[in-house]
Amino acid sequence: MVKKQEEFKIRISNPHEVVWEGTATALSSENSQGKFDVLSQHANFITIIKEKPITLRFADGTTKDYKFPRAVIYNRNNQVFVHTQI
């Protein structure tokens, strides 16, 4: 039996608007230390992303990519926030 991946909330915003908000099963990107994934119940953390894709994975197997000049990603209490510049 395959275990269903748990979803968690993600909000991507810039100073003027919410770019995307919803739930996903994973967020993946790369910071100065290397590639990383955020899954449900991930430990709290913060990181800066520069010119690297941020990939969201959904329960139905689809993905959506975003790329910003600079973004701050932080995870707290099973919610991920991505703050970008324009």
- Return the domain boundaries, the chain: 8-84
CATH number of 8-84: 2.60.15.10
pLDDT band per the 50, 70, 90 thresholds, residue 3: low
Residue 71 has pLDDT above 60, yes or no: yes
- Separation CA 34–CA 67 (nearest Å): 16
Average pLDDT over residues 66-79: 96
CB 20 within 8 A of CB 14: no
Residue position matching structure tokens 């894709």: 53
Please tell me the pTM assigned to this model.
0.91
Q: How far apart are CA 3 and CA 17, in angstroms?
A: 35
Q: Model confidence over 27-60: pLDDT tens digits?
A: 999 999 999 999 999 999 999 999 999 999 999 9
